[in-house]
Amino acid sequence: MAIEVTAQSRKLQGTGASRRLRNSGKVPGIVYGGKTDAVTIELDHNALFHALRNEKFHASILDLSVDGKKEQVLLRAVNMHPYKVQVQHVDFQRVSADQKIHMKVPLHFTNAEISPAVKLGGAMISHIMNDVEVRCLPAHLPEFIEVDLSGMEIGHSLHIRDLKLPTGVEVGLRGNENPAVATAQIPKAAIAEEEAAAAATAEAGAAAADVPAAKQKAEPAAAAGDKKDDKGGKK
């Protein structure tokens, strides 16, 4: 079910008009694309701010109602205030059912805990990418793409071309391009601990090996001393 967004058209434009709009709890925006002209709009700030916290809002076809007239759009840009928790401006792009769109879709990583890398090797899986750009018709746009990590092994990487994409969805790659999505590596701290433990074990083994050698040297010397004492006793 598509997310519904309510807006009203606005006629006043310019910096001063936008400032007054924001002070009244509204957000200026624009709707563009398609075969109709761009339309400037205003939206309720609180409703928009809470909608923006929903991941689905950023990667879904939205039903935008402007003065009661509905059209399908994508959220294309959000400008936030540099230090206030305030939305400054939003851009929406109209979509057509028969025209493919380009959109960044979030990646959802699953099954890391049962992978050989984590379960057997104690490795850490790093997420190299958190989203990926796809190309598809609006009806095929996924909310997210699942990344199954259950087969990850230590030292291996999972690449974009390894992902199972939904029907009708293509990833925007060029030529032989195939960037890594996730990698599995042993943490450096764990490697350092293992190396320190191995060094300590080797040092202890070397010290233990020196004890018999020292004992062997001491025994002949003690025996020679005993012989001298015996000779002295006879005299």
Q: What contacts 206, CB < 8 A, 6 or more positions away? A: none
- Select the more confidently predicted residue: 15 or 212: 15
- Within the chain, residue ranges assigned H as helices are 15-23, 45-52, 55-58, 116-119, 188-234
**pLDDT tens-digit series, residues 94-117:** 999 999 999 999 999 999 999 999
Q: Return the bridge partners of 6, or none.
A: 65
User: Does the structure show a pLDDT above 70 at 229?
Assistant: no
Give the dihedral sign, CA 134/90/83/47. negative
Q: What pLDDT, on the 0 to 100 scale, is given for residue 191?
A: 47
The answer to pTM > 0.85 is: no
Residue pointed to by tokens 């990833």: 171
Question: Looking at 3-17, 77-91, 94-108, 146-160, which range is the least confident one?
Answer: 3-17
pLDDT at 157 over 50: yes
Mean pLDDT computed over every residue of the chain: 85
pLDDT in tens, 173-193: 888 999 999 999 987 545 445
Residue 200, pLDDT > 90, answer no
Confidence of residue 235 (pLDDT cuts 50, 70, 90): very low
Task: Identify the burial level of 106 via C-beta atoms within 10 angstroms of its C-beta, where 0-12 means exposed, 13-18 middle and 19 or more buried.
Answer: middle
Answer yes or no: are the C-beta atoms of 22 and 86 closer than 8 Å. yes
